[in-house]
Amino acid sequence: MRAVKILHCADLHLGARLKNLGSRAAKRQQDYMKTLELIVTVCKEEEIQLLLIAGDLFDSSKQSNELLEEVRALFASIPDTYIAVAPGNHDPATVDSCYEKKGFWSDNVIIFSGEMTDHEIPALGVRLWGAGMTEGYSLKSLFHREQSIREAAAYDDEIQIGVLHGDLISAGGRSEYNPVYKEDIRDCGLQYLALGHIHKRSEPEWEGSCCYAYSGSTEGLGFDETGEKGVYIGLVTKSSCSLSFFPVCQRRFVRCEIDISTVTGTKQAAAFVRSFLQVQQGERFERHLYDIKLKGEQKNIWSFDAAAFLAEFDDVFYMKVREQRQLSCDLEQLADEISLRGIFARRMLLIKDKISKDQFETAVQIGLKAMNGRVDYSEDYET
Ligand SMILES: [Mn+2]
């Protein structure tokens, strides 16, 4: 049976400017292009016949000429792979966009723009269906023509594949980003629908005979996009779809909470965290981006020094740390002390019933830490 080998990716966000990463932002920006280079290499090595890019290839509809030229050259470097692009809400196919530049892209590139259309690739025995966003918003669904897809699907052994940037929702739901209704894709005639927009990957699922998936973003864009990121690779036939996840991201965003109850100083805390990350994230753990929360009970009196802690992780690409240990202490016992701490404990016990439990505990922790050492201005207590 005829089969087509595909690679489905989406939400590459090339050119994204990342705030909050300080001096690492520029380097991180380069990662996004390296990921596209890797995808192109995979296309060559795996002999991918069809590369599906389901929108937000670029972070915005304005790109530098340098960035555009790099992407153009990369696409042109794999003439044996057909590349289908369905522009998304970040990089809509506006009249002045790169997608509308006549003669700019190589012959292997197919760009969808506006309403859903089809494109025949006789060499692969594939009919492609796609739409492209032309504005940052689309309240109207761009997915229609199910009747035409069904008719085409019934015609011969041509494989029907769709590519789209949109929000997959159930009937009655609303979205400003091209709502795609599950009811519409059910048995619509497509063997596979490659989706983009949701940055969290979904497993391939079926609505009747139509298989669909979000491949997710190829690189995390922040600490709300943690973990491994990648693409789907696999074979689509007239009656089957078998896809595997293939990681391509250069670095992962990692958030973790680590209990440091047993350590006795900042340097020891850093060594403890290092071994923890080596085990959890593997040998090349230092290439990733970390948001570390230190938890536990503070049994020994030592104050945490965030700058000294981070200095121990010079080799790590990016790290931020918050220390939120709880002091273990008996306030009643402390109140008997003839010291500033004793006075603080007595005053706190006096107002205990006048404030909430959370407020009380937070105030005690901040107060005692201040007595023991120091409290950073940035100390970020959660309420
Ligand atoms: Mn996106």
Measured in Å, residue 4 CA sits from the centre of ligand 1 at 26
Domain ranges of the chain: 3-247, 253-372
207 C-alpha to ligand 1 centroid (Å): 23
Span from the CA of 218 to the centroid of ligand 1 (angstroms): 10
Tell me: the pLDDT tens digits for 183-230? 999 989 999 999 999 999 999 999 999 999 999 999 999 999 999 999
Q: How far is the CA of 219 from the centre of ligand 1 (A)?
A: 11
Looking at residues 122-143, what average pLDDT do you find?
A: 93
Q: 136 C-alpha vs ligand 1 centroid, how far in Å?
A: 11
What is the whole-number distance in angstroms between the Cα of residue 54 and the centre of ligand 1? 9
Q: Which residues contact 288 (CB under 8 A, 6 or more apart)?
A: 251, 252, 253, 254, 281, 316, 317
Interval between CA 115 and ligand 1 midpoint (Å) = 20
Summarised one tens digit per residue, pLDDT across range 237-275 is 999 999 999 999 999 999 999 999 999 999 999 999 999
Q: What is the per-residue pLDDT across 22-65, written as a single tens digit (0 to 9) for each?
A: 889 999 999 999 999 999 999 999 999 999 999 999 999 899 99
Residue 79 alpha carbon to ligand 1 centre in Å: 26
d(CA 109, CA 94): 18
Q: How many angstroms separate the alpha carbon of residue 13 from the centre of ligand 1?
A: 7
At a CB cut-off of 8 Å and minimum separation 6, what does 125 contact?
2, 4, 157, 158, 159
Please, which residues have CB less than 5 A from ligand 1, an ion?
11, 56
Q: What number does CATH give the domain 3-247?
A: 3.60.21.10
| pTM of this structure | 0.87
